[in-house]
Structure 1
Amino acid sequence: GKNVNTKKINEEVTIKSYCYNDDCKTNEDSINALTAYIFMEFKNSINQHDYNKYDECFLMWLSDKLLKMYYESKGKNVKKGFVYLITLNQAYDKYLKQHKVKLNYWDLFDNIKGLKEANLIYMAEFYKLLNNICKTIADYKDNGAGTDSYFKGKNVNTKKINEEVTIKSYCYNDDCKTNEDSINALTAYIFMEFKNSINQHDYNKYDECFLMWLSDKLLKMYYESKGKNVKKGFVYLITLNQAYDKYLKQHKVKLNYWDLFDNIKGLKEANLIYMAEFYKLLNNICKTIADYKDNGAG
């Protein structure tokens, strides 16, 4: 819901210790204490080198909470989806600033003042979007893309693939002989496992994430083909479609999954490096959100 369980906050000694006078009386007191607690727990859990690396995620999380308070203040007149002209900073000043907390965490974000002045609705919506993307990536991992455990660096463990009956069943002639055979079979397996696990209504909703995952695997094959001449970080002019044609198309698989993405042909023509890097970026953001949840934001 929109409110914090203040009773529960006061029962948690570590969180309650951030309440002013060691007692949270209001919803706002509780949100402030919880925010300070999460902030410190997360900072203590990461390397000094990464100390300010994920502050943007923290502000997105806080925006989500402040937007709920803002909507509540509008009452029946609220228009959800309408972009109200209120910044994150204005929302903080309005709802939390006057509620004292032992750690003045807000000033610690002055290194990203620009983000504090971002529109509250956009910040909260971006948090929701990232949460949905992270859920999708987690779903891929739960429904097969723990499949990443089948990889030894850039190559698939073909022996392991052939030991897994459900994955092996996607190999042409029920036997994967090469790295490419194995990647194709593994990709088809993940595709079907994921499709079978979601509602028909969401059937094509997360295909973009699937193509990003595949881009990551194809980029490793592309880099391997370059050998010692590879320049990692250089934006080679190769599309995802070209990489698929070059490395996987000629290797037969029982499910021709590639044609099933014709509804997003534009993405198949995206630069392979950008697609793979976007996958890595999302994985890092998701790890950050998960860290916040593990260290209190749950």
Structure 2
Amino acid sequence: MSTATPTTETKETGELAPVRTESLAELLVSRERPPRPNALRTSLTFGWRAMLKIKHVPEQLFDVTAFPIMMVLMYTYLFGGALAGSPSEYIQYLLPGILVMSVTMITMYTGLAVNIDIEKGVFDRFRSLPIWRPSTMVGYLLGDALRYTIASIVMLTVGLIMGFRPDGGFSGVVAGVALLIVFCFAFSWVWTMFGLLLRTEKAVMSVSMMVLFPLTFLSDIFVRPETMPGWLQAFVNNNPVTHVASAVRDLMAGSWPGEGIAWSLGWAGLFVAVFGPVTMRLYNRK
């Protein structure tokens, strides 16, 4: 069995001269190979990539700025007088719920971003890299966590201008927003699965809206479940969005809803445990 010997062409004679394997290795590997990045570093790198996409396409922030403002103004002044006697009274109950609704609905953009990158062929390059496989998906979710934070700040600012006064103070508001972001981070795994499973961006959006509209509107975001029919209360009281909205509302009101927080974190853990492995299986086989 023979092996080919690397050769180079000499300037004087034009003939091919053998090249030593050692010199070729020294030329290709001039310094020590850098260490393989760990899971945290690669996840943060992909998260930074997601934020750079927002920087270069600032129109992506429309859904976390203009849309939340429109929701707060519309529902407060449209339903406030009929449901609570005045908009200033209704916003105390509505704003935490609208905050949960708006941030939960923008979680579907994670699936849209994944689907768009698949269509562009970017994932083929990602899968060839010697990195922790889930870091690409975790990076998407970390980038979207910034969007959730921006949406929360925008809505709370508008609410304070309109008369919202949280009895829990700054710490209660921060605790409520943190709980919401943790839940939405876990809930986004559902849409990453759909982003990998469905063929087109429009299909991902259609399926997302079919799931999100019943979850958000059939909850205690707008009215208390006690005012609903009994058969509807059974669904509303077991709706994960209801658990999160109630917990966020109570935290901002100054109380510590242990049961609501446990339900919210339990749903978050369930979403990650179920949809995380399914998402990675689809990612490895896509």
Under TM normalisation by the shorter chain, which class is it?
under 0.3
| Higher relative contact order, chain-length normalized (CA < 8 Å, sep 6+) | 2
TM-score by length of 2: 0.26
TM-score by length of 1: 0.25
